[in-house]
Amino acid sequence: MKTVVITGAAGGMGSATATLFKSKGYQVLATDRGEIAGVDFQVVGDVADEVTWQKISAVIDKNKLEVSSLINIAGRNYFDLVDDAKKSEWLNMFEVNVVAMVLGIKHLVPYLRKVQGASIVNMSSISAQIGTSGYAAYVATKGAVDSLTKALALELAPQIRINAVAPGWIETPFTVAGLNLTPDPVAHRKKAEQMHALNRVGTPQEIAKVIYFLASEESSFMTGSIVTADGGYLIKN
């Protein structure tokens, strides 16, 4: 049975992705900073810490898992105007959102190379393309994810495909927390919905389907692609 490794699996999109892969017959090895329900194997830890990836490798070795995909979803956000930018926060943003992906890929590539049709999917964002005031650190990390994806697509080809998904506004605790920082969350949400061509925000389950497509053989001729799933936000704005 094939196994997929998912980071950030306790979050909205992470748990939805784990559920979808389970329904497709995969074993799920999940990692996050807290406990994760409904998966076959879990490693609790910080993905920006190489020790976490060493523990994940140990689980793979102990259980003789056939890892066919790595899904890099773990990430964090940070709001601050550049006048007040904190070096420690910026460095941690890149550690969690970018370097952690590099560490995961570094440790799992040896396993992925053993499987035909292996793939990696990275979590990007349309923020990398549009910019958002006050979220320069987040935007910068997602731009880095796009560039990393393209560079590693060349480095890992043809044995391993690597793509990224760039969601728009998705109904997750991660985005709701950002919404609640605004003076009028209800009005801001309504405005956000109207900025999408589909006049609504997306669900974690919808992004999970895109992730599954990119990880599966259904996208076998795709690598180095950044796939937008934003309900028509970019074309309307």
Active site residues: 138
Phi, psi of 180 (to 5 degrees): -70, -10
Residues 6+ apart with CB under 8 A from 87: none
End-to-end CA distance of the chain: 44
Token duo for residue 130: 């549009």
Is residue 229 within 8 A of residue 212, CB to CB? The reply is no
User: CA 228 to CA 129: how far, in whole Å?
Assistant: 10
Q: At what angle do helices 87-94 and 136-156 cross, to 10 degrees?
A: 30
